[in-house]
Structure 1
Amino acid sequence: MEINLAVLIDGDNIPSAYIKEMMEEIAKFGNPTIKRIYGDWTKPHLAKWKAVLLENAINPIQQYGYTQGKNATDSAMIIDAMDILYSNKVDGFCLVSSDSDFTRLATRLREAGKKVIGIGEKKTPEPFIVACDRFIYIEILKNKDKESEQETSKEKSGKKSSVDKITPKVIRLLSTTISDIADEDGWAFLGDVGSLLQKKQPNFDSRNYGFQKLTPMIGSINKFEVESRENQNSRFKLIYVRNKQN
């Protein structure tokens, strides 16, 4: 059963460049029945958002900055989120922002039994990330054409790639997660491994490390074994993983 989602976007805090990819990503989790973006639309920095709102059916909410240095957009988003929560029209929320001010909101929505997906830039503070059920970095939501163009330009300019390295800390996280749910022979179903990884670390995503799926990521690390097994109920094989025996 598909769940209904309320998508609330902090227009002052998120770039418009990957709106199409962002909406495609959100659609994987449910049906975005409410789509709103907040900001002061009299300001020139939101001009790029104006061009993509209609084609993505996103409703702009005008919020004037009443006081210098204070972000009125945050308050408007929080008030609307609580109104939507009490209307009981959705099963979950997607909060699109890199601002830690939404940490308490994410926590409150989860306390009410709603699924909370966060989307923001890699600069997003840790408290907001861990307050969500799932957190996705907007930088990985690139189509292949844009990604290859950007990687080529980075190579020419000598800048580092945005892909994270697989560090010993990441390997330990994978290893302990596999051990947590492994059977007596050390094998764990990859689907369960992925689910537990998300609970432990909401921003864990194989795409952060340059892999579209978890299977090739784990297969690229020589500390793990990967095994495909026949599935009697489907044409798709079941993938199991385990830590290599010493």
Structure 2
Amino acid sequence: MSWTCLTLQTDRDHAELWSDALSAQGALAVTLSSQATGAEEVPVFGEPGCPEMPLWPHCQIEVLLPMDWDASSWLKQVSTSLDQPVPPHRSEIVADQDWVRLTQSQFDPIPAAPGLWIVPTWHEPPDPSALNLRLDPGQAFGTGSHPTTRLCLEWLTAHPPRMQRVLDYGCGSGILTIAAGLLGTTQPIGVDIDPIAVQTACDNAALNGVSASFYEPDSFPNFPPSMG
């Protein structure tokens, strides 16, 4: 199976307007990014509770469509619904690929902290003598690449929680809970509001041979203070 990919050029004032309209008109996928590349590219983050960052001055919208659609006519239909001219764009064919293998190729082992590697299951550990935490990217947050995760992993390796209980609230993939377990905690516990994250964390802990407990907030037990 192949698809048609349209790449539209627009500005920050119209980017979200077009993105929403393209999605509403049945696009299979819509991706908004900066036209800048390399050193000129500036990331835009959206964090809860933080001031909203403006989009890039010059934006690029990639739209994935079924091959049997008349892409030009469809794009004109969207522009009519917006009462906007069709922006500059190009069209190309996206051939089917082994998407799993392609996705895996984007994730290499990460040296997360001194003596600690995050290693996807399709890779061999670069340093077998190190502490190797096996983790595959998935639906839950936490692959070891985010700066906040890396800082926590660095702190844990510098201060191993041996003979201590560790509570990872908002555990995502369970990466910090599992790292704490590998580093000697007696009772690694993770909590997340997302049931998919809880199940993912359980699976990841089992993959690493770590006996950890994961809960949604409403099912979190009332542990006695002396339990350790």
Give the TM-score taking structure 1 as reference length: 0.25
Higher helix share: 1
Please identify which structure carries the higher strand content: 2
